[in-house]
Amino acid sequence: MEDISIFTDKALIPTEQDLQEKLGTTYALWKRIEEMVLAKYPQGLAEWNFPGKNYSWSFRIKDKRRAIIYFLPRDSFFKVAFVFGDKAVAVIDQSPVADFIKTELALTRKYAEGRGIQITIRDDSFLPDIDQLIDIKLNVK
């Protein structure tokens, strides 16, 4: 099974109704995380993005020059994704963030923009970690 967005038609930007229908009960978690980011960074630009047919539609919240967080819609759940530079990875390694996140970041390939991680959201168990990752993303340059 391919791991791409459930919204594959480049010509149709997903609507809130589309998102709510596809995510079901996890839609509320999507909104909570979106609100969490915008509460910490009110000037964030929230937008749908279509990087290509291999990924399809995703949603991101950006500051002036980089994405803070990506939302990757799937059928009845979603993923959030972050990309962290070396300084942020070092801060995460010393933080109370879940060990699997630290391990995943350590094992992932490093690119020019940093190391990326995706966290699958099916319930609220990772919200405290996501909250901390947002803080680190916003405060560690």
| pLDDT tens, residue by residue, 69-92 | 999 999 999 999 999 999 999 999
What's the CATH number where 41 sits? 3.90.1150
Q: Per the domain annotation, does 85 fall within a domain? A: yes
**Three-state SS for 116?**
strand
| Residue 94 maps to a domain | yes
What pTM was computed for the model? 0.93
Task: State percent of the chain over pLDDT 90.
Answer: 85
> In which band, very low, low, confident or very high, does the pLDDT at 21 lie, cut at 50, 70 and 90?
very high
Residue 110, domain member (yes or no) = yes
pLDDT digits (tens, 9 = 90+) for 96-140: 999 999 999 999 999 988 999 999 999 999 999 999 999 999 999
Is 11 part of a structural domain of the chain? no
Position 46 in a domain: yes
Which domain does 123 fall in, by range? Answer: 16-139
Tell whether 4 is covered by a domain. no
Please enumerate in sequence order all residues whose Cβ is within 8 A of that of 137, keeping only pairs 6 or more positions apart, or say none. Answer: 68, 69, 82, 84, 88
Are the CB atoms for 37 and 44 separated by under 8 Å? yes
Establish if 34 belongs to a structural domain.
Answer: yes
| Domain count along the chain | 1
State the pLDDT confidence band at 1, using cuts at 50, 70 and 90.
very low
